[in-house]
Structure 1
Amino acid sequence: MIKIYHNPRCSKSRQGVELLEQSGKDFEIIKYLDTVPTESELKSIIDLLNISPLELVRKNEAAWKENFKGKTLTDSEIITAMVTHPKLIERPIVINGKKAVIGRPPSDIGTII
């Protein structure tokens, strides 16, 4: 089943949900601010996206600027930071089987559904 890691307050994330609804396919919405992925889950998502953990970080978020900006962090430390401060996780993330994409722009979601 398709999964979308979603923040209802984010316009791109809402657009991602709309695209999935229009596709007619079944999907699961995971409100990741309420149900924060574990470090293991986040590592799996990063592996599916084929990116580095830093590429999944929203670097303009206050939590990043105040706590991490300018520091040299390991991948593990970056993942821990995202679990501790889930607002740092880029959104939306859509997973379909062994494929995943960050829906920025939302039209990228169409490449895996």
Structure 2
Amino acid sequence: MTTIYHNPRCRKSRETLALLEERNESTDIVLYLDNPPSEAELGKILKQLNMSPIELVRKSEQIWKDNYKGQSMSDTEIISAMVKNPKLIERPIVIKNGKAALGRPPENVLNIL
């Protein structure tokens, strides 16, 4: 089973989902804005992505600019901010067999399929 953390309003997320569908991947779609991951789940995803929390933050989001930009934050605080404000989580994230990839560009996910 392949899991995609998906935002249907995001073009890259839609393109990544289409790529999975073209490859006939059995896909669990997580609408993470409606159902955000827990701090523990996001920590696990970050390990699978081999990324630090700050690398997964959408720094162009107004929420980030207004509330967090320029602050000295620990990894735990950054993860907490993303869980509290899931719009801050970069997307889409695809997970398969314990490996994860960020679909920017969508072809990045081919490395884990």
Q: TM-score, normalised by structure 1?
A: 0.98
Structure 1: tracts of 5 or more residues without a match: none
The aligned amino acid for 2:82 is M
**1:4 aligned onto 2:9:** no
1:1-113 to 2 correspondences below 5 Å = 1-113=1-113
| Count of residues in correspondence between the two structures | 113
Q: Matches of 2:22 and 2:28 in 1, distance apart?
A: 14
- Local SS of the residue matching 2:95: strand
Q: Matches of 2:23 and 2:111 in 1, distance apart?
A: 12
- Matched residues, percent identical? 55
The aligned amino acid for 1:7 is N
Q: Matches of 1:28 and 1:94 in 2, distance apart?
A: 10
The aligned amino acid for 1:12 is K
CA-CA distance at 1:97 after TM superposition: 1.2
The aligned amino acid for 1:65 is K
CA-CA distance at 1:64 after TM superposition: 0.3
Which runs of at least 4 in structure 1 moved beyond 3 Å after TM superposition? Answer: none
CA-CA distance at 1:71 after TM superposition: 0.4
- Local SS of the residue matching 2:60: coil
Structure 2: tracts of 5 or more residues without a match: none
The aligned amino acid for 2:103 is G
The aligned amino acid for 2:87 is K
Q: Matches of 1:41 and 1:93 in 2, distance apart?
A: 13
CA-CA distance at 1:110 after TM superposition: 1.1
CA RMSD of aligned residues (A): 0.5
- Local SS of the residue matching 1:18: helix
Q: TM-score, normalised by structure 2?
A: 0.98
